[in-house]
């Protein structure tokens, strides 16, 4: 499991150094839900129950049990909406992930006749955002109504740079592009090649959201302790064991919901990789739904 944690770090972070945006009330909303957990009142967000929530997993998700389990239970059992998980292959690049996500959204909306909320984590968060940038017709047609990137690997990573440089084998990189796609150069190129159109920028600002995180030394899960120390030597030093907090968003595309305290798996993964609990993940999901469908509507 430790080896899995190290590989996850090396290949799903993203780093570039920009000033952190201001934080709104979402962090406090999460804290309130954690302190005083209670099931969702679905009558306060009736439109949300008519949507389909597509959870997009991150790098090495094939070997991580419990991905989005607690999040999906809140959506289905408490909100009454439908939900599914999508696992892009870890060996693929971001462009391939975006195309696979686009196809899955089209399939689901045709089959279910419901609009989709895209919620991605880590590499999956980057893939979800890139999907609506590359395929704006998903938005214009009403197939995608919201996008949330949770601890998204959006800006490239010195850790990914390190693993690619330590394994200078072109054939390996071509066959397994997961690490390569999250190097600084490649991640930035992926988003630079898909700029938002002027006509769509208002939608992106209002409907694309970023949830970021960081954790103090010694509080991340044991599997992420070594990588947390490594990431702390880059940028601001504030990180969640995999990603610097300032690199989990894209300035000018969507809006930031703030920085939560937790390691990289705390809010989405039910496994030893996480220092979170099922209760924390469910409270986080309730707060996220309330933020999107109640707070921002008022």
- Tell me the domain boundaries of the chain: 2-297
pLDDT per residue as tens digits for the range 183-221 = 778 888 999 999 998 899 999 999 999 999 999 988 988
Please tell me which residue, 13 or 234, carries the higher pLDDT value.
Answer: 234
Bridge partner list, 150: 121, 211
pLDDT in tens, 130-186: 999 999 999 999 999 999 999 999 987 777 766 777 766 565 555 566 678 887 788
* pLDDT of 245 over the 50 cut: yes
pLDDT in tens, 75-131: 999 999 999 999 999 888 999 999 999 999 999 999 999 999 999 999 999 999 999
The proportion of the chain whose per-residue pLDDT surpasses 90, expressed as a percent, equals 62
Q: To the nearest whole number, what is the mean pLDDT of the chain?
A: 86
CATH top-level class of 2-297:
alpha beta
DSSP per residue, 16-27: ---PPPP--THH
């Amino acid at each position: 499991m430790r080896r899995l944690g190290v590989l996850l770090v090396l290949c799903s972070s993203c780093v570039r150094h920009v000033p952190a945006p201001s934080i709104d009330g979402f962090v406090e909303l999460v804290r309130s839900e954690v302190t005083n957990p209670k099931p969702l009142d679905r009558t306060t967000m009736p439109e949300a129950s008519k949507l389909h929530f597509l959870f997009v997993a991150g790098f090495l998700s094939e070997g991580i049990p419990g991905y989005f389990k607690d999040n999906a239970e809140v959506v289905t059992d408490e909100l009454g909406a439908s939900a599914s998980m999508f696992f892009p292959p870890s060996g693929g690049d971001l462009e391939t992930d975006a195309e696979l996500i686009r196809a899955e959204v089209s399939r689901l909306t045709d089959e279910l006749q419901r609009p989709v909320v895209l919620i991605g984590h880590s590499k999956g968060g980057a893939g979800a955002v890139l999907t609506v940038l590359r395929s704006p017709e998903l938005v214009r047609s009403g197939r995608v109504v919201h996008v949330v990137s949770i601890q998204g690997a959006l800006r490239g990573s010195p850790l990914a740079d390190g693993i690619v440089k330590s394994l200078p084998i072109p054939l390996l990189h071509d066959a397994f592009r997961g690490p390569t796609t999250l190097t600084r150069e490649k991640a930035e190129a992926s988003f630079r090649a898909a700029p938002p159109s002027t006509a769509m920028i208002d939608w992106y600002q209002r409907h694309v959201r970023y949830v970021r995180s960081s954790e103090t030394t010694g509080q991340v899960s044991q599997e992420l302790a070594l990588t947390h120390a490594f990431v702390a030597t880059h940028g601001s030093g504030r990180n969640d064991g995999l990603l610097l907090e300032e690199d989990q968003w894209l300035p000018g595309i969507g809006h930031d919901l703030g920085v939560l305290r937790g390691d990289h798996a705390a809010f989405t993964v039910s496994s030893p990789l996480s220092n979170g609990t099922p209760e924390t993940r469910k409270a986080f999901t309730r707060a996220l739904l309330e933020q999107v469908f109640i707070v921002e509507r008022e």
